[in-house]
Each structure stands twice: as structure tokens, then as C-alpha cells.
Amino acid sequence: MSAKRKPRPFSRVALIGIGLIGSSIARGIKKHKLSHEVAISTRRRTTLNTARKLGLGSSYHLKAAQAVKNADLVILCAPLGANKALAQEIAPHLKPGAIVSDVGSCKESVIKDVGPHLPEGVHLVPAHPIAGTEHSGPEAGFAALFEDRWCVLTPADGIDAKAVKAVEGFWRKLGSRVEIMDAAHHDQVLAITSHLPHLISYTIVDTATDLERDLQKEVVRYSAGGFREFTRIAASDPTMWRDVFLSNRDAVLEILGRFTEDLTALQRAIRRGDGELLHDRFTRTRAIRREVIDAKQAGTEPWRNRR
Ligand code: NAP
């Protein structure tokens, strides 16, 4: 490092995967001057060229092993299903004391897939920025994505406290609020707040596409009546979401069981004409919306509506 360089929290950050999340992190690092170097790696040359054209990093690599050399922070930003192979590939090339983190939407699977491959003296601090859009790829990212959003860290017991602090500081500088949580608890919470809503959206849109052609046209024409938001969520990346459901199977199946019971209760109320039960349920849920808005998690900021 040159003697004249002003200190930054990291000297080299390696981003493995440069889609929506990786490229938003790259932009945030640049904006907030969080690292001297940003090494970018992705498996396809076309994606790497796009990242280069966008000027997202300081070096570009088709091999993750090259990107992580001398990195003090490595962040895995590929779909969850790629983590195990990536961990095996980078492990021999990590410098002692390096921090390995990630952005995956499930956390127990990251600890299971990545942890066992890391050498002694390398610290695993898994992270999940609870922020995103339905868009994918390096062009979809923007630095403000993480502002006022939660980022959950799930370090296992005994992980170096300094490493956890460094990752916490990194996300705070990107504008996030940070919470430290047990990985299994994270997966249960996200099963209900994120994974189940995605599954329901995929199902509703799929059911609609099964309707005959004329009706489908009507569905699109009148989609503002609630369906539109489901189509937005159901446009989310299929690879990412396949991996989420395969990685968080137990928690999703548990919550799906409860949901099915509640849905059946509403179905029965409709069949029996039990308006009181319907009204009670809908009154209760209305209050939850108020809480989400008060917690500034409703996505009503102008920039969030631009895509
Ligand atoms: P994305 O836009 O689809 O980008 C994925 C990146 O990973 C691309 O650079 C892709 O490279 C690379 N990649 C794909 N398969 C790979 C493989 N088998 N091995 C190595 N690299 C591979 O995805 P994203 O939305 O940024 O999501 C990335 C991670 O963030 C996921 O783990 C997801 O759970 C998590 N996350 C997503 C959101 C969201 O809303 N999207 C929110 C929070 C967390 P190529 O183009 O070169 O194939």
C-alpha cells in the first residue's frame, strides 16, 4: 500500500458474483470509500465484461481463486447453491486473518456449506442484507439499495469478535441497520416474511397463466386490483429462489403447514358465510400494515418505486 493513501476500512474486498447484490455492494464501496481495491469475479465472461464497462471494480477475474488473493474481506454474492463449490475453490488462496462473508437469503446452509472448507485463522461472518428488487445482473445494482434496510449477521459461536465488528461496520457504512441473530432463527423469520410470500406469488401467477387465453388477457388488463404486486414478486430470479427453497426446506415447510391451516379456516368461513370471522381477521392484518409503515419497511421511498 502506498504511504500517501488515506486509510480505509479494508485494503482489498473481493466480490464473488456481481449481480444485483454484488454490484450494489461494489457501488456502495466506491461511494463510501470502504476499500482501496475491489476485486470482482464471476463465472461468465459476458457478465465480467459488463462489470468492467460499468467500472464496478479495480480488477476483474474469471477465477474466484485469483480474486480472493490478498483480500481482507471476501463476500460471496452468487446464488446459494454455488457456495459450497466456491468455498472449496477459494479456501487454499485466502490470506490468514481474512474474513469470508456472504449475502445469501438463508443462513444455516451457508454455515454448513462454507464453514468446513475454510482454513484455520479465516473468519466466517455470514450476512443477509434484507434488501432487493426483482431485477438481476450487474446493471440492476445501485448504491442506495441497502439504505435504511436491515442486514442480519449470523456468526456462529466463538467467531472472532473483531471480524464481526468489521463486517457490522461495513454494512452500517452502506446505510444498513445491523442485527446479529442465530442462523436458525433468521431462517425461521425469513421463511414467513420473505420465502412464503414469494412462494404464494409464484403460485398465484402460475395459476393465472393456466387460465384460458381470453381470461389471461383480462388478468393482465385488470392487474392493478392486487395481482400486479404478485407479478412483480413472481418475476424474481428463478435460480436464486430455487436455491432459497432448497436451502431453507424445513423452515418453509413448517410455515407452509401453518399457512395452509389458516387458509382453510378462511375458506370455511367464506363457505359458511361467516362474515364476522373474515372481518376480524382483516382488521387484525390491517394493523400489521401500519406497523410495517411505522418501521419504515414499506418501501414507500420515491427511489424504491422507480423500477
Ligand atoms: P444475480 O443478480 O442473479 O447475480 C448472481 C451472480 O452470481 C452473477 O454474477 C452470476 O454470474 C453469479 N453466479 C451464478 N451462478 C453461479 C455459480 N454457479 N458459480 C459462480 N457464480 C455464479 O443474483 P443476486 O440477486 O445478486 O443474488 C445473489 C445472492 O444474494 C443470492 O444468494 C441471494 O440469495 C442473495 N440476495 C438476493 C436478494 C435479491 O432480492 N435479489 C436480496 C438479498 C439477498 P454469471 O452471470 O457470470 O453467471
pTM for this prediction:
0.93
Which cell numbers in the block locate residue 162? 473483531
Q: Are residues 38 and 164 in the same domain?
A: yes
pLDDT at residue 112 above 70? yes
Q: Which pLDDT value is given to residue 307?
A: 37
Q: Which pLDDT value is given to residue 298?
A: 76
Q: Are residues 212 and 288 in the same domain?
A: yes
Q: Are residues 207 and 172 in the same domain?
A: no
Residues 224-236, mean pLDDT to the nearest whole number: 90
Which cell numbers in the block locate residue 49? 465484461
Residue 75 Cβ inside 6 Å of ligand 1? The answer reads: no
Q: Are residues 90 and 172 in the same domain?
A: yes
Q: Which pLDDT value is given to residue 299?
A: 67
Q: Whose alpha carbon is nearest atom 11 of ligand 1?
A: 42
- Where does a domain end: 181, 196, 213? 181
Q: Are residues 176 and 215 in the same domain?
A: no
Residue whose grid cell is 416474511: 193
pLDDT at residue 129 above 60? yes
Q: Please give the number of the atom of ligand 1 that sits closest to the Cα of 48.
A: 47
pLDDT tens across 13-41, in order?
999 999 999 999 999 999 999 999 999 99
pLDDT at residue 289 above 50? yes
Q: Check: CB of residue 42 under 8 Å from CB of residue 59.
A: no
- Where does a domain end: 146, 164, 181? 181
Size of the chain in residues = 307
Residues 248-262, mean pLDDT to the nearest whole number: 97
Distance between start and end Cα atoms, the chain: 40
Residue 89's SS3 state is helix
Residue 56 Cβ inside 6 Å of ligand 1? The answer reads: no
Residue 47 Cβ inside 6 Å of ligand 1? The answer reads: yes
The reply to whether 199 falls in a domain is: yes
Q: Are residues 171 and 201 in the same domain?
A: no
The reply to whether 245 falls in a domain is: yes
Q: Which pLDDT value is given to residue 305?
A: 39
pLDDT at residue 192 above 90? yes
- Where does a domain end: 181, 196, 225? 181
pLDDT tens across 29-73, in order?
999 999 999 999 999 999 999 999 999 999 999 999 999 999 999
Closest CA to 68 of 127, 126, 13, 11: 13
The reply to whether 58 falls in a domain is: yes
Residues 85-111, mean pLDDT to the nearest whole number: 98
Ligand 1: which of 40, 68, 105 to mutate, most ligand atoms within 8 Å of CB?
105
Q: Which pLDDT value is given to residue 297?
A: 75
The reply to whether 172 falls in a domain is: yes
pLDDT tens across 291-300, in order?
888 887 776 5
Which cell numbers in the block locate residue 171? 454494512
φ, ψ (nearest 5 deg) of residue 74: -115, 125
| pLDDT cut 90: percent of the chain above it | 83
- Any idea what the CATH number is for the domain that residue 123 is in? 3.40.50.720
Strands 177-180 and 59-61: unpaired
pLDDT at residue 277 above 50? yes
- Average pLDDT over the chain, rounded to whole? 93
The reply to whether 161 falls in a domain is: yes
Top pLDDT among 138 and 211 is at 138
Top pLDDT among 212 and 206 is at 206
| Domain of 29, in residue numbers | 10-181
pLDDT at residue 133 above 80? yes
Residue 82 Cβ inside 6 Å of ligand 1? The answer reads: yes
Q: Which pLDDT value is given to residue 3?
A: 57
pLDDT confidence tier of residue 223, bands split at 50, 70 and 90 = confident
Number of domains observed in the structure of the chain: 2
Q: Are residues 197 and 235 in the same domain?
A: yes
CB atoms within 10 A of CB 128: 25
Residue 90 Cβ inside 6 Å of ligand 1? The answer reads: no
Residue 57 Cβ inside 6 Å of ligand 1? The answer reads: no
pLDDT at residue 184 above 80? yes
Q: Are residues 125 and 107 in the same domain?
A: yes
The reply to whether 4 falls in a domain is: no
Residue 36's SS3 state is strand
Alpha-carbon gap, residue 186 to 129, rounded angstroms: 12
- Any idea what the CATH number is for the domain that residue 214 is in? 1.10.3660.10
Residue 84 Cβ inside 6 Å of ligand 1? The answer reads: no
Q: What share of the chain is helix, strand, coil (3-state, %, to 5)?
A: 55, 10, 30
Determine the distance separating the centroid of ligand 1 and the alpha carbon of 82, expressed in angstroms. 9
pLDDT confidence tier of residue 211, bands split at 50, 70 and 90 = confident
Residues 202-220, mean pLDDT to the nearest whole number: 84
pLDDT at residue 306 above 70? no
Neighbouring-strand partners of residue 127: 153
Residue 46 Cβ inside 6 Å of ligand 1? The answer reads: no
Residues 121-135, mean pLDDT to the nearest whole number: 96
Alpha-carbon gap, residue 154 to 167, rounded angstroms: 11
Alpha-carbon gap, residue 13 to 26, rounded angstroms: 9
Q: Are residues 169 and 301 in the same domain?
A: no
